Each structure stands twice: as structure tokens, then as C-alpha cells.
Structure 1
């Protein structure tokens, strides 16, 4: 039986530059990524969906550096620009852009959930995750052949759901979401997303007392992230391993990688007022 897949639709204006910024951020080159994102948000020709994605991506960079409070501003702007996705799931911003607008709305909501999680507001974080899940289910008809829309945002939602379980102490939720992520990532042809999914699985294993599994998965993530030049993920894996692995080198890797990230514009500490606004 032949599986019918959605026909690809043209990507909205600005998607290529947004993808470039995402790739730079994945390498830890946050300063360069912010420059690209600032250009996108200032360009009136860029579609609302991509402008929204630019704001939520910049918020993600802030969040990775520990700026959960300032990140809420960017994620809020992202939701404001994509609010049209809440009115209808049949083409809020034109047929070609509807799936992207829906993805942008989901990115904003999931980003806000992660921001509130980092600030310790578990109730607000869960409400935002539930709202995102409801939207994803209601707008399933907008699924497109471009994995960067529905497939990617559903995976991100599952990641943050698992993190919510870890931070709040609800290991059942953390495990269930990690298992769901392992299935959802099959629809995402991105090594980085697979590595991040495995990192979350390693964290869940560590929290569950499955130390050997956590070490094995964490080492695999560390090596694959290093091979791919994905410094933020490599640093996160080193930080995990420094707490669960008896090998001493990971503690020094944490410091070394932290310094490299700072030199690339991703200091894992509060940012200056100018950096907070991407200038």
C-alpha cells in the first residue's frame, strides 16, 4: 500500500536565513546567529511566520545562556506575530504559509513553557505545554512535507514535556515524553535533533537511577556532538557526564567547552542589556 505524503509547499520569505541562524546557534556561534536574526526581524519583506521564528530562535539562544526571564520577551513577541494561527487551521496566513505560521505559534508557546520551567513556574509551564499540544492536534491537517514545521515542533514539545517531568520530579511524565521523543524523531532527518533526543533520554536515565545507561548514552552524545561541531550539546553532555561518570576528564571538558562557547557569543551566564536584545 502506497503511503500518501503531503505535497511540499513553497517556504515563506526568509526561511533560508532563519535556517542559517539556527545552524549557527547549534554550533554555539550565538553572536553570528543573533546578527542574522536581527536582520530578519528588521526586514519588512520577511513573512510573519519567519519573523516569529526569528524571535523565538533568539529567545532560545538567551535561554541556553541562562536568560530565561529575558527570553520570555522574545517568545511573547513570537506568539504575537503568529497569533493568526489560533484563528483557523485552514490557512490563517495564506495556504502556502499556514503550516509555517502554525509551527511559529507552537515554537513560541513551547519556548514560553521552557522559559517558565527555567524560572521554576511549573504550573504555567505545564499549561503552555498543554495549550501547544491542543493546537498541534487541532492543526494536524496542516502537516507538510517540510519537517521543519509540524514534525520539528512536535518533537520540541515532547522534549520540553520530558524536561518538565525532570525538573518537577514527575519521572513518569519524563519517561513517557522521552519515549515519545524517540519515536517522533524518526520523522526528523536531522542528526542534531537525534543527538538532542538521546541527550534527554540520558538525563531521564540518570534521574531514574539507571547510571550505566545514562553514561553510555551520554558518552555517545558527547562524541557525536563533538564530531558534528555542536558545542552546546557537547557541553550539555559533558555536564551530565561530570555528575554520573567516574571518568574525571568530563569535569575539565565542561570548563573548556564553556570557555569556547563564551568566545563564540554564548556565555553561560547573564548577558549584557545589549546582548539581551540581540544588538
Structure 2
């Protein structure tokens, strides 16, 4: 029998991102892990409650910065880049000398800047994050995601594909299934940006199958949006559109509030 701490870690950053229900957390780290896993499934009400619980735990201060970064990522997933920037700013202020927390906050701020069209600022923040020493594989994957997204936004399609492919390799080495699926989402988008629609479609369809199997609802929604644009051999426009709307509705039922931009 797997102990609760291991179950939560595997759901957050390992091979079981679709596991649910998960045990109640007994430590701040466990609360963070369950929040991350719940957010990956679009269970935002549970995830936010766990982050609130984390703040009240004896060891909560240790994870405060990571918790703020996690809240920021939830806001971005729902289209709220301005709200995300506030949480990422708090994450940066709370990071102290923790390399992962500091780099996480900088990468989050870069994603926030990108989301509102401040590309030069996004690039500068990514440069700062790249020079933080002693960070984990998770941070390396996130760095490649946002670097790929920035390259797409600034018309550097080849660079976007390179960053996305590095993310795929790093996620595989990390052993996180959720990071692997998200990396394929980024790769599909980069391939679309490069004009290779057939490759984009193939990658997106494969990733969509995995996301649905693992109940990774936000990624299911993102992939359905992409396939609505490029077409899918796995389903016609009506089917893909229905899948997109169902994923969005599931997020709302699970406590997520989409931002209107």
C-alpha cells in the first residue's frame, strides 16, 4: 500500500496525475501537492482550499512562495493574467533564497507579461530565471514552456519548436505525466505556428487522448481549442466543439471561474 505522502507526490509530479480522490494532507508539502494535482484536473475549489490550508500549517511559511505561484498558474489557466501577476509578485517577495521558488516566480511573471503583450519584459524575466542556479527539472520544463510561448508570440516559430521539444525531453526525464502532456500541448501549438499543421494535428490528437484518459480537464480544453482551429481526424468540428464546451463546463462545476478578456 502506497503511503499518503507518496500518493500525493505521484499525483502532483509523477505518474498518476488523474488519481482522485486523494488523501487529506498532513503537512504543507502534502497540501501543495494535492493543490497541484487538483488544479491539473480542474478541481479549483479543492485546490484553492488546500492552498488556504497550507498557509495555516506549522510549516506553511516554507511553501508560501510556491503556493502563491500555484495560485498564479490557476489564474492564468482561466485567462486571468492580471490576477496572476499579483500572486506571482507575492511569490517573488516570499521566495527568499529558495532557488526553485525564486525561479518559479520569475517564470510566472514572464508568463503574465507575455499574456498582456509585454514581450520585452517577458524576455528579460526569462533571462533572470535562466541564471538562477540550483533549480529542479520542474523549473527547467516550465522555463521551456514559457520560452516557447514567447517565441510563438513574437514570430519565431523555429525557436518555439526547439523550446517545446526540449520541454518534451525534460518532462520525460522528470517522470511527470502531467508535465509530459502539457509539453505536448506546447509542442502542438509550436508546430502549428511553424506551419506544420499535419504534425500539429497528430501531436494534439495524441495528447488529447492522454488528457481525457487522465481527467486533465484544463489541458483537454486547451487541446480541443487547438483542434477546433486546425481540424481533427478523431472528430468533426461539432464533436470537438462539444468536447471543448464540456471541458469548460466541468471546470466551472469544479470551482473555476473563467476570466473575460
TM range (shorter): 0.7 to 0.9
- Structure 1: distance between partners of 2:207 and 2:165: 17
Report deviation, 1:188.
1.1
What secondary structure, in the 3-state scheme, does the structure 1 residue paired with 2:33 have? helix
Within a 5 Å distance, the mapping from 1:151-166 to structure 2 comes to 151-166=137-152
Within a 5 Å distance, the mapping from 1:1-279 to structure 2 comes to 14-43=28-57, 45-48=59-62, 50-82=63-95, 84-85=96-97, 101-135=98-132, 139-140=133-134, 150-246=136-232, 247-248=236-237, 249-270=239-260
Aligned counterpart, 1:275: none
Contact 2:31–2:53 (CA under 8 A) maintained in structure 1: no
- Structure 2: distance between partners of 1:183 and 1:222: 19
Report deviation, 1:266.
1.6
- Structure 1: distance between partners of 2:243 and 2:59: 43
- Structure 1: distance between partners of 2:260 and 2:64: 25
Per-residue CA distance 1:64-89 (angstroms, 9 max, x = gap): 1111001111111111111x32xxxx
Report deviation, 1:166.
1.0
Report deviation, 1:44.
5.1
Runs of 4+, deviation exceeding 3 Å = 42-45
Gaps of 5+ in 1: 1-12, 86-100, 144-149, 272-279
**TM-score in terms of structure 1 length:** 0.79
Report deviation, 1:115.
0.6
What secondary structure, in the 3-state scheme, does the structure 1 residue paired with 2:257 have? coil
Report deviation, 1:112.
0.5
**TM-score in terms of structure 2 length:** 0.84
Higher Rg: 1
Number of corresponding residues: 231
Distance 1:269 1:37, change over 3 A: same
Report deviation, 1:40.
1.5
Report deviation, 1:207.
1.1
Report deviation, 1:213.
0.8
